[in-house]
A and B are shown apart, each in its own frame.
Chain A
Amino acid sequence: KAGVTQTPRYLIKTRGQQVTLSCSPISGHRSVSWYQQTPGQGLQFLFEYFSETQRNKGNFPGRFSGRQFSNSRSEMNVSTLELGDSALYLCASRPTGPNTEAFFGQGTRLTVV
């Protein structure tokens, strides 16, 4: 079974631009969550989607948005990029049901210059 796939693996963008990251979950997983990882801050929750609906949202500004498609693939968009948005963005998929394991992708390393 294929794991969680994130594309692209690396991105370099300029301040003010926007970016879209993609996440393909494990087949059959309908829950997809996004996290921002920065040194010293750990994994900060951005949002979670289930069956195309956002179920949870973290404390990030409105510049961060996401969506999920009918095949459970998810995209995350960041508009008006700031230098502080430079981070590793990880997505994780989970099987349906309470307290299930989250399977992470390799992440997208975003650098804003």
Chain B
Amino acid sequence: GENVEQHPSTLSVQEGDSAVIKCTYSDSASNYFPWYKQELGKRPQLIIDIRSNVGEKKDQRIAVTLNKTAKHFSLHITETQPEDSAVYFCAATAFGNEKLTFGTGTRLTIIP
């Protein structure tokens, strides 16, 4: 089955700097890669996703890149703000398979 590895497990960055979280997946059939943000005590919420037919997607300060050959994808957050502090999860799934396999999460702390 699919296996998703996520690094780093914790990340601290100065406010205004950029943060990068990386994930690798094992199943070459995976073609959908969402990222979820979970604030303390709250439910995970989708922040951005990418499908395998594109290499990059941006939404304001957030971007995701995908390298299908290397089977890895990354989340980039620019101009970080205190409200970006949360746990971020990457996930992967194959077309037609409703099972989302998640990474173990990255706790991002923005230092004011």
- Is chain A's interface secondary structure helix, strand, loop, or mixed overall? strand
Which of B49, B89, B98 is A43 in contact with, Cβ under 8 Å?
B89
In angstroms, Cα B101 to Cα A48, docked, is: 12
Contact assessment for A43 and B99 in the assembled complex, using a CB-CB cutoff below 8 Å: no
Which chain B residues (28-64) contact chain A, with CB distance < 8 Å?
A: 31-32, 34, 36, 42-46, 49, 51
Contacts of A43 in B (CB 8 A): 44, 89, 91, 102, 105
Which one of A13-21, A63-71, A74-82, A104-112 contacts B?
A: A104-112
Contact assessment for A41 and B97 in the assembled complex, using a CB-CB cutoff below 8 Å: no
In this complex, the interface size class of chain B, counting residues with CB under 8 Å from chain A, is 20 to 34
* Shortest Cβ distance from residue A49 to the other chain B in the assembled complex, whole angstroms: 9
Query: Taking A40-B104, A41-B104 as contacts, is the C-beta distance between A106 and B98 under 8 angstroms?
Result: no
* Shortest Cβ distance from residue A75 to the other chain B in the assembled complex, whole angstroms: 18
Query: Taking A42-B89, A99-B93, A99-B95 as contacts, is the C-beta distance between A107 and B43 under 8 angstroms?
Result: yes
* Shortest Cβ distance from residue B109 to the other chain A in the assembled complex, whole angstroms: 16
**Which residue of chain B has its CB nearest to the CB of A47?**
B99
In angstroms, Cα B38 to Cα A50, docked, is: 25
Contact assessment for A56 and B98 in the assembled complex, using a CB-CB cutoff below 8 Å: yes
**What would 19 more interface pairs be, CB under 8 Å, given A40-B104, A99-B51, A99-B95?**
A33-B99, A33-B100, A35-B102, A41-B104, A42-B89, A42-B103, A43-B102, A45-B101, A48-B98, A48-B99, A92-B100, A99-B31, A99-B32, A99-B49, A101-B46, A102-B34, A102-B46, A104-B43, A105-B43
Return 27 A-B CB contacts under 8 Å, by A number.
A33-B99, A40-B9, A40-B104, A42-B105, A43-B89, A45-B99, A45-B100, A45-B101, A45-B102, A48-B98, A48-B99, A55-B98, A56-B98, A58-B99, A90-B43, A92-B100, A94-B98, A98-B95, A99-B31, A99-B49, A99-B93, A99-B95, A102-B100, A104-B43, A104-B44, A104-B45, A106-B43
